[in-house]
Structure 1
């Protein structure tokens, strides 16, 4: 079967269109999708930079909970005094009595410009629910706090009967200021 010139031209046109479509579908489309993602990231970084440059020195920058959930600190420039106050408020809300509050030595984190300070809490509580409630409250605040270690034991009264529980909790406080 012999094809006419017109049929051959149409067949070549269909072949070239199919070739172009495959090129676009398997090469260009993934690149364009990746480019859209990069543009979104650039817009997000620019908006963060504008917020940071427009804030006054010493002012706390409150990030949204969504941003805090992505590894960002909810308050970027809290001081150790602020952490003390916040941890005491969380302990009161969890019905825990803080016996001591000791701040450790600040050290640099793996991320440039960020530091971590361990805070060791010694506490007394009535039962297991209170200390787990405190740990949950610390984790859900998004404050750059992370519970690292918990030790818990039963407290004995003077007559040898079981009392409440005593324990220690080490919390890492992540911040920008050294």
Structure 2
């Protein structure tokens, strides 16, 4: 094979010299044949727990593996059921086996399941249904009950405002100081 620049080459194929040029991500041969880059299935895209530890999750997307700290490693080779990366100068290959990615260095990753869609604010759907039922036959808008002490994901109390937290901390320190002074 002989390279003729950054986007063209020629090669001996079956005793004949064939030339090709890369044009708009397609390989166009001098015979008029055009090769299109195959798009691999995104079988590896998603989140993976390192060695089964749900606390250490890596993400595969866009031809890269993203570590928990935000750094990433580029995938250098990929087939339908394997992917390879350079790790500390050594080629390491992982093979998909069901819901696991088993690496030839002994590590294994387990696919993380995406959470099932659910109501973001627990109890809101039931409250809506109960409110609608109690107003059956009435015209006008239905007022929904307020949902208190929920963050946007419905997980728990909202994170405190830093200013409010500072006031609360200084107030509690004043109480402790006053209590210690009174005991002395």
Same fold flag (TM > 0.5):
no
Task: Give the shorter-chain TM-score range.
Answer: under 0.3
* Bigger proportion of residues as strand: 2
TM-score (norm 1): 0.19
Which structure has the higher relative contact order (CA within 8 Å, separation 6+)? 1
